[in-house]
Amino acid sequence: MTYQVTIEPIGMTIEVEEDQTILDAALRQGVWLPFACGHGTCGTCKVQVTDGFFDIGEASSFALMDIEREENKVLACCCKPESDMVIEADVDEDDDFLGYLVEDYQAKVIEIKDLSPTIKGIRLEIDRAMQFQAGQYVNIQLPDIEGTRAFSIANSPNEEGIIELHIRKVAGGAATTYVHDNLQEGDEIDLSGPYGQFFVRKSDDRGVIFIAGGSGLSSPQSMILDLLESGDERIIYLFQGARDVAELYNREIFENLMKEYSNFRYIPALNAPKDEDQWTGFTGFVHEAVADYFENKCSGHKAYLCGPPPMIDAAISTLMQSRLFEKDIHTERFLSAADGANEQSRSALFKHI
């Protein structure tokens, strides 16, 4: 059975299959409702039901309080229609966002390599080309792992039929442990995408500052490759933070890009280099490298931050103290089992602070 769900105030109607969530149906039909966690714990996808019957799903009591339930508010990522419905929602609109439809794909693992002691690079060949914007992510389904997991795409959109992922092994993470210990070249997995609204605002031609920590490098890598390959002439800065040289992965890629493109700057920072690293670059946290490089004067740029929450928070503080406005800072936060959250709680919401 299929239900009609009308989304106000835009007046668009989508078709929702039985046992399908409103959010999943919307994304697959080009309607980008605001969302983040995707499984009922953050409340970002909260909408108002004005007509119809529904199953509220497994919405967290923290994300959807009792009084809100009484007011017929629901979380689009959990709610499943039981009749035709009308909802009110704030639909994200940005002229730079292309809004490619979410689709299902079959993928074959064609390469697995160690990028660092804790991060593996996984290259997937998918059954057909996927249209995506640099900075977006996919959900993958792994054997014997309940639910899907979200990982950012690391390669350029220009590389058709290939999806590259950077996956860090985290303590207590069933999916990342499987990838590191069990996944083999030749294995086949299912995935869906593209998801997310973390993307470069190309209509704004100001210089861009990318700040990345750990496997948070994946989205900036895709975005930087896309900009440079398209001939974009704005000044592009990448600040990459890591603990030591062993964790500073893909360093050679960016050093080579700096030689090839005069508008690209690469500034790595190590917060705990080892003696044997013989490190001569910046020593300290990555947000400190930004402050040092720009001398606390970051105005006139757009900033894109990707990594664990503590890094993001520190970088936001540094940028705002360096005269960069909130509207010019875009973030992608990674949450995993290592952060005391379910591994699936990696933020999929990419927007202003």
CATH number of domain containing 121: 2.40.30.10
Q: Would residue 347 count as lying in a domain? A: no
Spatial distance between the Cα atoms of 143 and 151, rounded to a whole number of angstroms: 16
Report the pLDDT value the prediction gives residue 336, as an integer from 0 to 100. 53
Q: What is the pTM of this model?
A: 0.90
Spatial distance between the Cα atoms of 242 and 213, rounded to a whole number of angstroms: 6
Q: Would residue 345 count as lying in a domain? A: no
Looking at the structure, tell me whether residues 313 and 238 fall in a common domain: yes
DSSP label at residue 169:
-
Looking at the structure, tell me whether residues 335 and 222 fall in a common domain: yes
* Domain that residue 291 falls in: 207-339
Looking at the structure, tell me whether residues 131 and 214 fall in a common domain: no
Q: Would residue 141 count as lying in a domain? A: yes
- Nearest in space to 184 (alpha carbons), one of 108, 249, 106, 119: 108
Task: For Cα atoms 177, 183, 185, give the angle at the middle one, nearest 5 degrees.
Answer: 155
Looking at the structure, tell me whether residues 117 and 64 fall in a common domain: no
Looking at the structure, tell me whether residues 157 and 178 fall in a common domain: yes
Looking at the structure, tell me whether residues 241 and 314 fall in a common domain: yes
Task: For Cα atoms 75, 78, 80, give the angle at the middle one, nearest 5 degrees.
Answer: 105
Looking at the structure, tell me whether residues 266 and 334 fall in a common domain: yes
Last residue of a domain, one of 33, 55, 88: 88
Looking at the structure, tell me whether residues 224 and 314 fall in a common domain: yes
Number of domains in the chain: 3
Q: Would residue 178 count as lying in a domain? A: yes
Q: Would residue 346 count as lying in a domain? A: no
Q: Would residue 350 count as lying in a domain? A: no
The Cα diameter of the chain in Å comes to: 66
Looking at the structure, tell me whether residues 20 and 69 fall in a common domain: yes
Looking at the structure, tell me whether residues 182 and 65 fall in a common domain: no
Looking at the structure, tell me whether residues 211 and 327 fall in a common domain: yes
Last residue of a domain, one of 169, 195, 221: 195
* Residue whose tokens read 């039981």: 82
> Per-10-residue mean pLDDT for the chain, 353 residues long?
96 96 96 88 94 96 95 97 96 88 98 98 98 97 92 97 97 94 98 95 96 95 98 98 98 98 98 97 98 96 96 97 95 60 38 39
